[in-house]
C-alpha cells in the first residue's frame, strides 16, 4: 500500500522486504495500542449475532446493528429490551410486538426474522436491517418533484394498509421510521419499527396489561389528536392515516404543521396541546402551488376528527394515485370549522395515569417540566389534566427509581429521583427516598483528582497498597525499551517514581507483606523482600534459583507464603526473613494460594486439578488430587476458614468444607476459565468471575445461583470484596469497574472507569487505586464512602409515645400486608414479598415502619401509602422496631433486648435545587436534555463539594450534604447531629464490652485498639457480629 | 502461572476458518500449554496443534534451510519434526518453563536436528501420509526469495515466525471481508492498518470505494479493531497466559526493529 519509493513506516523504521502486504510491521503491530475510545457496549455478541453498533434507543429498548452469523449470514437490526424495564408488562408488550410483526409480510415493511433471549436474559427481536435515509431527507437530498414525492409515499400507504388488514397499527409513523433504501437502483421505502404497534385483535396477547401500557406512545409532531388526548379507546388505523398526512405535509411543505423554532425547546405537553387544539396551517401557506387538490388531500388526511379522514390507508393511496393521474379527488377543502370542541369533549375519558407516565417516559426526555408548568397558562379543563400528567410523570420516575435501586443501579436511581423532584418539588416521598438512598448506599467515588504516571512509564501491573491505601508499589514498563521497572506511588508531590527492578526474568508476583511498605517480589525464580523506601534494593532474599509457582502473604500477621512447581509450600516471617516451616504438600505444580484465619490456614490448588489446605496450628495437611478436570486456576479460603472454593481453567468451580475437604455442593459451572473469586461472609455468597466476562453469585451453602449472572466484561480478571462485605468490585478485561451487590448480583459500572487496566485494594478494603494505562493516570477511589451504620447508645433517643387513639391505626391483614386506618379512611399498603415481622407507627408524622423476615426495614407514608425509603438491610438479629423522638432515628431491638439506632430520612423533607445537583454528582449520573441518562465524567467529591452554595441555609439539605462529604471518624453519627464517630468509637472502647468492641469494627474494621481488646479477652468475636445484647 | 484454558476451548482453535474466529467471543485460549501439562496423546488438542503447526511450518522450514540443508532434506526434516511433535508428544523433552510455542519450537527444532544428525539414518520418513500437508514447492520458492543476509538460523526463524503470524492475521481479516463481499473495501483500506502517512488521505481512499470520508474513518477504525482482535487471538494461541500476549507483540515489534 505504500507509495512508490516510500519504504519508511510511520514509526520511522525502514519497511523490510518481507513485510506482509508491504505494510510496516511495526506500525501494524503498534496499531493494537491505538488509543481510540471504544464504546462500552453492553454485549458484543448475542446468540448468533455479533453486535456492530447502536442504531437507536427508546424508553424500552435499544436497537443495534448486528450481523447474524448462522444459519445465514446477514445484517440485521437487533432490538433488545432494556433489562431495567423488563417488567411483566413490558415483556408482554415486547412479545406482542414480535407476534404483530411476524404477521406482516410486505416488500415495504421491514421483515422480522427471529426472537429470543440472550445469555444474560435480555429479550431480543431480530429484524431486517434497512440501510437508507428517512423519507423526508431522501426526498430533499434527491430534490424530488412533488409527483415523485407522491410516488414515493404511495407504497408506504399500501404497506400501512397491509398492516391494518392484519390488525396491526403502527402508531409511531414518522420519517425516521420510513427509510428509503436503494434496491437495484430503485428507491424502495420501508416502514420500520412497529415498535409501538398494537394489534387491534385483542387475542394477540393474553396480557390485558399490555393494552394499558400501550395507551399512548409516539412522537408528538406526528401524533394524531386522539393519541395526544391520551384517549386509547379512540385510537385505530385512522391515527396512522393522520401521521401519513403529516408526513406528506412535511414532504411537500418542508415542515410539520406544528413545528416550532428548532432553537426553542417546546415541552411535549405544549406540542400535544397544539395537536389537539390548534388548526393545522394550510399547506398553501407554506407553498402556494399546493393550493387545490393536493392541499385538500393533506387536510382530509389530517382532520382532527378521525371520522372525517380517509377510511383507510388504501383510500389515501387511491387518492394519491388520482392526484398523480390528474383525476378528480374525493377530498374537498374543508370549512375552517374543525369540530374541535366536540371532539375533545367526546373523548374526555379518564386519563390512564400509567399511559401518560409511559408517554412521558418514552417521549418526555425533552420536557423541562417545571418551566413548562410555570410558563404556560392553561384552560381550566386542561389544567386538571396537566396536573394529572405531571403526577404521572413524577410517579413514573419515582417508581423507576425504586426499581433501579433494587437492581443497585444507584446512580440511575438518583437521577430519576432528582427528575421526579424537579417535576414536583413537593413530592415528599421522592425527597425522602433520595435521602435514604444517599445515606444508605455505598458509593465508590474518586476522592481525589487523577494523578499522572511518571514520565516514560506504561503498563502498570501487579499493584499493591500499604497503610490505609495511600501509597503502594507496582510493576511498570518503559515503553522505549520494554524494560521492567518498579514504581512506587503515593499522594505526595512526586506521585509516581520508578526504580530498577533488577530481575532477569519477567516479574510474576508482587504482594504486600505488611501495611508499612514491605513487599515480596518474585520473577518466578527468585523471591525477595523489599521496602517501599527503596524498591530497587532487596532487603532479604528468601529464595534463589528455585521455581516459585505461587506467592501470597498475610500482611496483618507479617507472613509470606510460596508454593513451588514441585508441590512444596513454605512460610516465612516477613520481619526476619526466617523460614518458619515448609512442607511437601502435593506432587505437582502449585497454581494458586489463599490464606485464611489470620495466616494459620493456607489453601492451595495444583495444575493437576488438586486442592488442599495446610493448617499450621494443627499441623494438618490435607490434599485431594484431581478434583478438577483441568488445572486449578483459583482457590479461596473463606473468611471463617471453614470453606475452600476452587475454580479451574475448564470453567468449573467447586466448594469444599474444611477440614474434611468434602465437597459441599455440586459443581458451579461457568462458560470459561475461572479467573477470579471473592466471598461475602455477610450474605454467604461467593462471586466467581470467568474468562467469558460473566460474574456469577453462588450461594455457598447450596451451590445454587444466588442471583442472575452479570455479563459484559470480556473477562472478569479481578473480584474484590469490600470492607462492608455487601459488595463486590469486579474489574473486567473490557476495562470497566463494576460494583456488584453481594446478595442480589445487581450492579452498575463505575462512571468513568472504562479504561481501567489494573487495581489494588487497600489493606482495610475501604479504598482502591485504579490505573489506566490508556490515559496514563491513576486515582484513589473510596469504596464505601457513605453509608450510615446502625449504632448503639443508651438513651440517645427516647421512644415515641403512641399517638392519640384513633388518629392513625395500622393493622396487619395477613403476613404480607398492612392496612392503615385514619379518620375513617382505610388504605392498604402494597403487599410485600417477605413476611412482616414487626411494624411501628409514627402518628405525628404519619409514617409507618415495617420490618420483614429477610431483615429489611422500610418506611411508608400513612397518607399516600407511598414508600419513603427502599427496603434497607438491618442486622439479622433485629426483631422489633420503634420510632423515636429523634425524627430521623428508628430503634431496632434484638431478642435479648439490645438496641441500636438506625438512620431514616426526616419527615417531609424539602430539598432545594442545588441539593439535586449535588445528589446527581454523588451518584455520577444525570439526565440529558434528550432524556438519556448520562454518566457525569468529572463526578468526584471535589465537584460535589463545589456544588453547595455558600449561602445555603441551615436545614435538612445542608446537613445531609455535609454529612455525605465528611468521612470516617470526623463524620457525625447522624446528619445534623453533634456526636462524631470518633467520640462514639472512643466511648465504645472505654465501655470495652464484647458488644461495644464489635460495634467499633463496624465503623472501623481495622481499629488497632479494638483488636487489642479482642486479643486480651480472647473472645471469638467476628467484626460483623451485628446487634449486641 | 497457570495455563488458563480448558480442553473444551481447544476445539475453538482447531478450526481457524474466519467464521470460527469471528463467532468466538473473547479470547481463544492456548491449546498447546494444556498438552504440556496433560501430556495425553488422545487430547483434543492435537487437531488444534496441527493447525498451528501448519501455520508455522514455514518458519521451521526456513530455519532448517538456513542450517544448510537442501530443499528435499529440509522438507523431510520439517515433516519429521512436526510428525514427531504431534504424534509422539516429543514436547515432553523440552524445558516447559519457556511458556511460548515460539520459543518451544525454536528449541525443539534445534534439538531435533542434532538428534537427526547423530542418527545419520537418512532413511526416508514416509509410509504414512504427511500429517502436516503443505506445499513444499511453495515453501521453497518462498525461501528462495529470502534475502541471503547474515541472519542466523535462529534469527531467521524468529523473523519468519513474526512475519507468518502477521500474514496469517491479515489473511484471516481479508477472508472475513471477502466472505462479506467486501474485498474491494479491504483492498482499498487495508493500507491504513499500519497508520495513515503511507497512504492517501481518507477522502482519497473514500473515492476509490465510493464512501464518504467519515465512513472511511469508521470502516478503518473497525478494521483496525478487528485486526487487533485477530492478532490477539492468533498470538494467544501460542502463549501460555493472557498476560504474555502483549509482551509477545512487543517482542515481534522488536524483531522487526532490529
pLDDT of A166-219, one tens digit each? 777 787 788 888 999 888 888 999 988 764 444 333 322 322 222 222 233 446
Q: Is A167 left (phi over 0), alpha (psi -120 to 50) or beta?
A: left
Residues of A in contact with B23 (CB under 8 A): 45, 50, 69-70
Average pLDDT score over residue span B226-233: 85
B106 closest CA partner among B167, B58, B60: B60
Residue A463 or residue B105, greater confidence? A463
Percent of chain B at pLDDT exceeding 70: 58
Do residues A415 and A923 touch, judged by C-beta distance below 8 A? yes
Average pLDDT score over residue span A445-461: 82
Whether residues A10 and B198 touch (CB distance < 8 A) is answered with yes
Q: How confident is the model at residue B86 (pLDDT cuts 50, 70, 90)?
A: low
Residues of A in contact with B170 (CB under 8 A): 20-21
Bridge partners, A594 (sequence order): A603
pLDDT score of A571 = 93
A655 φ/ψ angles, rounded to the nearest 5 degrees:
-125, 125
| Residue of B1, B4, B25 lying closest to A508 (CB–CB) | B1
Q: Is A168 helix (H, G, I), strand (E, B) or coil?
A: strand
Q: How confident is the model at residue B220 (pLDDT cuts 50, 70, 90)?
A: confident
pLDDT score of A1007 = 78
Question: Is 80 exceeded by the pLDDT of residue A91?
Answer: no
Q: How confident is the model at residue A528 (pLDDT cuts 50, 70, 90)?
A: very high
Cα–Cα distance for residue pair A309/A237, rounded to 1 Å? 11
Bridge partners, A622 (sequence order): A613
Q: How confident is the model at residue A551 (pLDDT cuts 50, 70, 90)?
A: very high
pLDDT score of A383 = 61
Question: Is 50 exceeded by the pLDDT of residue A560?
Answer: yes
Of A172, A240, A397, A784, catalytic: A172
Selected from 3.40.47.10, 1.10.510.10, 3.40.50.300, 3.50.50.60, the CATH number assigned to the domain covering A46-275 reads: 1.10.510.10
Residue A817 or residue A637, greater confidence? A637
Residues of A in contact with B27 (CB under 8 A): 691, 714-715, 733
Q: How confident is the model at residue A512 (pLDDT cuts 50, 70, 90)?
A: very high
Question: Is 50 exceeded by the pLDDT of residue A372?
Answer: no
Which of A4-13, A361-370, A496-505 holds the top average pLDDT? A496-505
Do residues A948 and A914 touch, judged by C-beta distance below 8 A? yes
> A636 is written with which cell numbers?
479461596
A925 φ/ψ angles, rounded to the nearest 5 degrees:
-135, 150
Cα–Cα distance for residue pair A602/A587, rounded to 1 Å? 17
Dihedral of alpha carbons A298, A303, A307, A308, sign: negative
A372 closest CA partner among A424, A427, A430: A424
Question: Is 50 exceeded by the pLDDT of residue A768?
Answer: yes
DSSP secondary structure code for residue A234 in this structure: G
Residue A576 or residue A744, greater confidence? A576
Mean pLDDT computed over every residue of chain A: 78
Q: How confident is the model at residue A1023 (pLDDT cuts 50, 70, 90)?
A: very low
pLDDT score of A212 = 29
Cα–Cα distance for residue pair A40/A218, rounded to 1 Å? 29
Dihedral of alpha carbons A459, A464, A467, A472, sign: negative
Q: How confident is the model at residue A356 (pLDDT cuts 50, 70, 90)?
A: very low
A927 closest CA partner among A436, A393, A447: A393
Other beta carbons within 10 angstroms of residue A977's beta carbon come to: 16
Which of A238-242, A443-447, A665-669, B198-202 holds the top average pLDDT? A238-242
Closest residue of chain A to B230, computed from CA coordinates? A32
**Placement of cell 433517643 in the chain:** A797
**Omega of the bond leading into A71 within 30 degrees of 0 (cis):** yes
Query: b/e per residue, B50-68, with b = 16+ CB within 10 A?
Result: bbbbebbbbbbbbbbbbbe
B45-55 and B31-38 helices cross at what angle (nearest 10)? 130
Q: Which pairing describes strands A568-573 and A579-584: parallel, antiparallel, or unpaired?
A: antiparallel
Closest residue of chain A to B165, computed from CA coordinates? A20
A361 closest CA partner among A930, A948, A774, A851: A930
Mean pLDDT computed over every residue of chain B: 67
pLDDT score of A479 = 79
| Residue of B1, B29, B222 lying closest to A673 (CB–CB) | B29
- Give the minimum alpha-carbon distance from A779 to chain B in angstroms, rounded to a whole number: 23
Whether residues B2 and A25 touch (CB distance < 8 A) is answered with no
CA B192 from centroid of its chain's CA atoms: 22
Average pLDDT score over residue span A903-921: 92
| Residue of B23, B29, B194 lying closest to A23 (CB–CB) | B194
pLDDT, tens digit (0-9, with 9 covering 90-100), for A879-890:
999 998 888 899
Question: Is 80 exceeded by the pLDDT of residue A340?
Answer: no
Residue A421 or residue A469, greater confidence? A421
CA dist A982 → A275, A962, A970, A1007, A1015 (Å): 62, 16, 6, 11, 22
Do residues A818 and A812 touch, judged by C-beta distance below 8 A? yes
Residues of A in contact with B226 (CB under 8 A): none
pLDDT, tens digit (0-9, with 9 covering 90-100), for A798-835:
666 554 444 667 888 788 888 887 666 677 788 787 88
Length of chain A: 1029
ipTM of the complex in this document: 0.70
CA A119 from centroid of its chain's CA atoms: 18
Question: For the residues of A482-514, what is the DSSP string, one character each?
Answer: TEEEEEEE-SSSS-EEEEE---SSPP-EEEESS
B159 φ/ψ angles, rounded to the nearest 5 degrees:
-60, -45
Residues of A in contact with B9 (CB under 8 A): 672-673
Cα–Cα distance for residue pair B109/A650, rounded to 1 Å? 31
CATH 1.10.287 fits A808-903, yes or no: no
Chain B residues 9-28 with a CB less than 8 Å from chain A: 9, 19, 22-23, 25-27
Q: How confident is the model at residue A6 (pLDDT cuts 50, 70, 90)?
A: very low
> A158 is written with which cell numbers?
399500501
> Would you call A172 a catalytic residue per the annotation?
yes
Q: Is B88 exposed, middle or buried (0-12, 13-18, 19+ CB in 10 A)?
A: exposed
* Residue spans of alpha helices (H) in A142-191: 146-165
Whether residues A50 and B197 touch (CB distance < 8 A) is answered with no
Whether residues A9 and B247 touch (CB distance < 8 A) is answered with no
| Residue of B9, B199, B256 lying closest to A16 (CB–CB) | B256
Is B232 touching A (CB cutoff 8 A)?
yes
Q: How many degrees, rounded to 5, is the angle at CA A728 between CA A980 and CA A857?
A: 55
Dihedral of alpha carbons A466, A470, A473, A475, sign: positive
Do residues A528 and A522 touch, judged by C-beta distance below 8 A? yes
Non-local CB neighbours of A22 within 8 Å, separated by 6+ positions = A1, A2, A15
Dihedral of alpha carbons A750, A751, A752, A755, sign: positive
Dihedral of alpha carbons B56, B57, B62, B64, sign: positive
Q: How confident is the model at residue A794 (pLDDT cuts 50, 70, 90)?
A: low
| Residue of A549, A608, A715 lying closest to B26 (CB–CB) | A715
pLDDT score of A529 = 93
Residues of B in contact with A52 (CB under 8 A): 222
A191 φ/ψ angles, rounded to the nearest 5 degrees:
-85, 125
Q: Is B68 helix (H, G, I), strand (E, B) or coil?
A: coil
A64 φ/ψ angles, rounded to the nearest 5 degrees:
-115, 150
pLDDT, tens digit (0-9, with 9 covering 90-100), for A242-281:
999 999 999 998 888 887 655 455 556 667 777 877 888 8
Other beta carbons within 10 angstroms of residue B238's beta carbon come to: 25
Cα–Cα distance for residue pair A670/A653, rounded to 1 Å? 8
Non-local CB neighbours of B95 within 8 Å, separated by 6+ positions = B107
DSSP secondary structure code for residue A867 in this structure: B
Average pLDDT score over residue span B169-184: 85
Q: How confident is the model at residue A379 (pLDDT cuts 50, 70, 90)?
A: very low
Is B167 touching A (CB cutoff 8 A)?
yes
Do residues A754 and A747 touch, judged by C-beta distance below 8 A? no
A22-36, A431-445, A782-796: least confident range: A22-36
Amino acid at each position: 500500500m505504500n507509495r512508490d519509493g516510500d519504504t519508511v513506516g510511520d514509526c520511522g523504521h525502514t519497511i523490510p522486504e518481507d513485510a506482509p502486504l508491504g505494510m510496516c510491521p511495526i506500525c501494524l503491530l503498534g496499531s493494537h495500542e491505538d488509543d481510540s475510545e471504544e464504546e462500552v457496549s453492553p454485549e458484543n455478541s448475542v446468540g448468533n449475532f455479533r453486535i456492530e453498533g447502536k442504531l437507536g434507543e427508546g424508553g424500552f429498548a435499544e436497537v443495534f446493528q448486528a450481523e447474524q452469523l448462522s444459519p445465514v449470514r446477514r445484517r440485521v437490526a437487533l432490538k433488545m429490551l432494556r433489562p431495567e424495564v423488563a417488567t411483566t408488562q413490558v415483556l408482554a408488550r415486547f412479545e406482542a410486538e414480535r407476534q404483530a410483526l411476524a404477521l406482516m409480510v410486505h416488500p415495504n415493511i421491514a421483515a422480522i426474522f427471529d426472537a429470543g433471549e440472550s445469555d444474560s436474559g435480555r429479550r431480543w427481536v431480530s429484524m431486517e436491517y434497512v440501510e437508507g435515509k428517512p423519507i423526508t431527507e431522501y426526498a430533499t437530498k434527491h430534490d424530488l418533484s412533488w409527483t415523485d414525492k407522491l410516488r414515493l409515499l404511495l407504497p408506504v400507504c399500501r404497506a400501512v394498509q397491509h398492516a391494518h388488514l392484519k390488525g396491526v397499527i403502527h402508531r409511531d409513523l414518522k420519517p425516521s421510521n420510513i427509510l428509503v433504501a436503494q434496491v437495484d437502483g430503485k428507491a424502495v421505502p420501508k416502514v420500520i419499527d412497529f415498535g409501538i404497534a398494537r394489534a387491534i385483535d385483542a387475542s394477540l396477547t393474553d396480557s390485558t396489561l399490555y393494552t394499558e401500557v400501550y395507551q399512548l406512545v409516539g412522537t408528538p409532531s406526528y401524533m394524531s389528536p386522539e393519541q395526544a388526548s391520551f384517549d386509547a379507546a379512540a385510537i385505530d388505523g385512522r391515527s396512522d392515516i393522520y401521521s401519513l398526512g403529516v408526513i406528506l405535509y412535511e414532504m411537500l411543505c418542508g415542515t410539520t404543521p406544528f413545528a416550532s423554532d428548532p432553537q426553542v425547546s417546546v415541552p411535549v405537553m405544549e406540542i400535544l396541546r397544539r395537536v389537539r387544539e390548534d388548526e393545522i396551517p394550510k399547506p398553501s401557506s407554506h407553498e402556494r402551488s399546493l393550493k387545490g387538490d393536493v392541499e385538500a388531500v393533506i387536510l382530509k388526511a389530517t382532520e382532527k376528527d378521525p371520522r372525517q379522514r380517509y377510511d383507510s390507508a388504501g383510500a389515501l393511496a387511491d387518492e394519491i394515485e388520482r392526484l398523480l393521474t390528474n383525476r378528480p379527488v374525493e377530498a374537498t377543502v374543508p370549512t375552517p370549522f374543525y369540530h374541535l370542541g366536540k371532539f375533545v369533549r367526546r373523548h374526555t375519558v379518564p386519563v390512564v395515569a400509567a399511559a401518560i407516565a409511559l408517554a412521558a417516559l418514552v417521549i418526555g426526555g425533552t420536557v423541562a417540566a417545571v418551566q413548562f408548568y410555570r410558563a404556560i397558562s392553561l384552560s381550566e379543563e386542561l389544567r386538571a389534566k396537566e396536573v394529572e400528567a405531571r403526577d404521572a410523570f413524577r410517579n413514573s420516575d419515582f417508581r423507576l427509581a425504586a426499581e433501579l435501586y433494587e437492581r443497585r443501579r444507584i446512580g440511575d436511581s438518583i437521577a430519576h429521583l432528582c427528575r421526579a423532584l424537579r417535576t414536583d418539588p413537593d413530592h415528599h416521598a421522592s425527597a425522602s427516598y433520595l435521602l435514604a438512598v444517599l445515606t444508605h448506599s455505598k458509593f465508590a467515588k474518586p476522592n481525589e483528582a487523577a494523578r499522572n504516571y511518571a514520565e516514560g512509564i506504561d503498563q502498570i501491573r501487579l499493584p499493591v497498597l500499604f497503610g490505609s491505601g495511600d501509597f503502594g508499589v507496582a510493576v511498570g514498563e518503559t515503553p522505549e525499551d520494554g524494560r521492567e521497572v518498579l514504581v512506587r506511588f503515593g499522594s505526595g508531590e512526586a506521585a509516581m517514581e520508578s526504580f530498577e527492578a533488577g530481575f532477569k526474568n519477567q516479574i510474576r508476583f508482587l504482594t504486600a507483606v505488611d501495611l508499612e511498605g514491605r513487599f515480596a517480589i518474585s520473577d518466578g525464580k527468585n523471591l525477595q523482600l523489599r521496602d517501599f523506601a527503596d524498591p530497587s534494593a532487596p532487603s532479604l532474599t528468601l529464595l534463589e534459583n528455585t521455581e516459585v509457582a505461587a506467592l501470597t502473604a498475610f500482611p496483618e500477621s507479617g507472613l509470606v507464603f510460596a508454593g513451588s512447581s514441585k508441590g512444596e509450600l513454605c512460610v516465612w516471617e516477613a520481619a526476619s526473613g526466617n523460614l518458619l516451616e515448609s512442607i511437601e504438600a502435593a506432587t505437582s505444580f502449585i497454581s494458586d494460594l489463599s490464606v485464611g484465619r489470620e495466616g494459620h490456614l493456607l489453601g492451595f490448588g495444583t495444575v493437576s486439578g488438586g486442592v488442599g489446605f495446610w493448617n499450621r496450628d494443627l499441623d494438618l495437611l490435607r490434599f485431594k488430587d484431581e478434583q478438577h478436570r483441568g488445572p486449578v486456576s483459583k482457590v479461596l479460603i473463606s473468611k471463617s476458614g471453614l470453606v475452600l472454593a476452587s475454580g479451574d481453567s475448564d470453567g468449573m468451580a467447586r466448594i469444599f468444607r474444611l477440614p474434611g475437604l468434602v465437597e459441599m455442593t455440586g459443581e458451579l459451572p461457568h462458560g470459561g476459565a475461572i479467573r477470579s473469586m471473592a466471598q461475602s461472609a455477610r450474605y454467604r455468597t461467593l462471586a466467581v468471575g470467568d474468562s467469558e466476562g460473566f460474574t456469577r453469585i453462588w450461594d455457598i451453602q447450596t451451590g445454587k445461583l444466588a442471583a442472575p449472572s452479570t455479563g459484559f466484561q470480556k473477562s472478569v480478571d479481578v473480584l474484590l470484596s469490600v470492607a462492608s462485605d455487601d459488595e463486590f468490585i469486579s474489574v473486567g478485561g473490557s476495562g470497566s469497574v463494576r460494583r456488584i451487590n453481594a446478595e442480589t448480583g445487581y450492579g452498575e459500572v463505575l462512571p468513568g472507569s472504562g479504561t481501567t487496566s489494573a487495581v489494588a485494594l487497600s489493606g482495610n478494603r475501604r479504598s482502591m487505586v485504579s490505573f489506566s494505562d490508556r490515559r496514563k493516570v491513576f486515582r484513589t477511589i473510596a469504596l464505601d464512602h457513605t453509608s450510615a451504620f446502625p449504632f448503639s447508645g443508651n438513651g440517645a433517643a427516647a421512644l415515641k409515645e403512641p399517638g392519640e387513639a384513633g388518629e392513625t391505626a395500622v393493622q396487619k391483614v395477613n403476613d404480607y400486608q398492612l392496612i392503615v386506618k385514619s379518620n375513617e379512611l382505610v388504605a392498604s399498603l402494597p403487599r410485600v414479598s417477605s413476611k412482616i415481622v414487626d411494624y411501628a407507627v409514627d402518628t405525628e408524622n404519619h409514617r409507618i415502619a415495617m420490618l420483614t423476615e429477610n431483615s429489611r426495614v422500610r418506611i411508608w407514608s400513612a397518607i399516600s401509602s407511598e414508600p419513603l425509603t427502599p427496603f434497607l438491610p438491618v442486622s439479622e438479629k433485629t426483631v422489633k422496631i420503634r420510632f423515636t423522638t429523634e425524627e430521623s432515628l428508628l430503634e431496632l431491638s434484638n431478642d435479648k433486648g439490645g438496641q441500636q439506632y438506625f438512620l431514616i430520612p426526616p419527615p417531609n423533607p424539602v430539598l432545594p435545587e442545588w441539593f439535586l445537583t449535588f445528589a446527581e454528582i454523588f451518584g455520577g449520573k444525570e439526565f440529558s436534555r434528550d432524556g438519556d441518562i448520562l454518566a457525569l465524567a468529572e463526578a468526584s467529591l471535589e465537584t460535589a463539594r463545589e456544588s453547595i452554595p455558600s449561602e445555603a441555609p441551615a436545614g435538612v439539605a445542608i446537613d445531609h450534604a455535609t454529612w455525605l462529604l465528611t468521612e470516617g471518624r470526623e463524620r457525625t453519627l447522624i446528619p445534623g447531629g453533634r456526636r462524631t464517630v470518633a467520640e462514639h468509637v472512643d466511648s465504645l472502647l472505654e465501655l470495652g464490652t464484647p458488644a461495644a468492641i464489635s460495634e467499633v469494627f463496624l465503623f472501623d474494621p481495622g481499629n488497632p485498639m479494638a483488636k487489642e481488646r479482642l486479643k486480651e479477652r480472647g473472645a471469638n468475636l467476628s467484626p460483623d457480629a451485628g446487634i449486641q445484647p | 502461572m497457570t495455563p488458563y484454558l480448558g480442553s473444551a476451548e481447544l476445539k475453538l482453535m482447531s478450526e481457524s476458518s474466519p467464521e470460527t474466529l469471528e463467532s468466538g467471543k473473547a479470547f481463544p485460549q492456548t491449546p498447546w500449554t494444556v498438552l504440556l501439562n496433560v501430556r495425553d496423546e488422545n487430547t483434543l488438542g492435537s487437531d488444534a496443534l496441527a493447525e498451528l503447526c501448519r501455520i508455522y511450518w514455514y518458519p521451521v522450514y526456513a530455519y532448517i534451510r538456513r542450517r544448510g540443508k537442501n530443499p528435499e532434506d529440509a522438507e523431510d526434516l520439517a515433516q519429521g519434526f512436526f510428525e514427531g511433535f504431534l504424534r509422539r508428544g516429543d514436547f515432553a523433552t523440552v524445558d516447559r518453563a519457556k511458556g511460548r510455542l515460539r520459543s518451544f519450537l525454536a528449541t525443539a527444532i534445534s534439538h531435533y536436528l542434532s538428534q537427526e544428525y547423530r542418527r545419520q539414518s537418512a532413511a526416508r520418513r514416509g509410509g504414512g501420509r504427511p500429517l502436516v500437508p503443505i506445499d513444499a514447492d511453495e515453501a521453497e520458492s518462498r525461501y528462495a526469495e529470502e534475502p541471503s543476509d547474515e541472519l542466523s538460523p535462529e534469527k531467521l526463524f524468529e523473523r519468519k515466525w513474526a512475519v507468518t503470524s502477521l500474514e496469517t492475521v491479515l489473511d484471516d481479516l481479508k477472508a472475513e471481508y471477502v466472505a462479506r463481499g467486501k474485498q474491494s473495501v479491504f483492498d482499498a483500506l487495508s493500507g491504513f492498518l499500519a497508520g495513515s502517512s503511507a497512504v492517501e488521505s481518507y477522502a482519497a481512499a473514500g473515492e476509490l470505494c465510493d464512501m464518504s470520508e467519515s465512513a472511511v474513518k469508521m470502516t478503518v477504525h473497525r478494521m483496525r479493531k478487528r485486526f487487533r482482535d485477530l492478532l490477539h487471538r492468533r498470538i494467544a494461541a501460542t502463549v501460555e497466559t493472557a498476560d504474555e500476549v502483549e509482551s509477545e507483540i512487543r517482542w515481534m515489534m522488536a524483531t522487526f526493529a532490529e
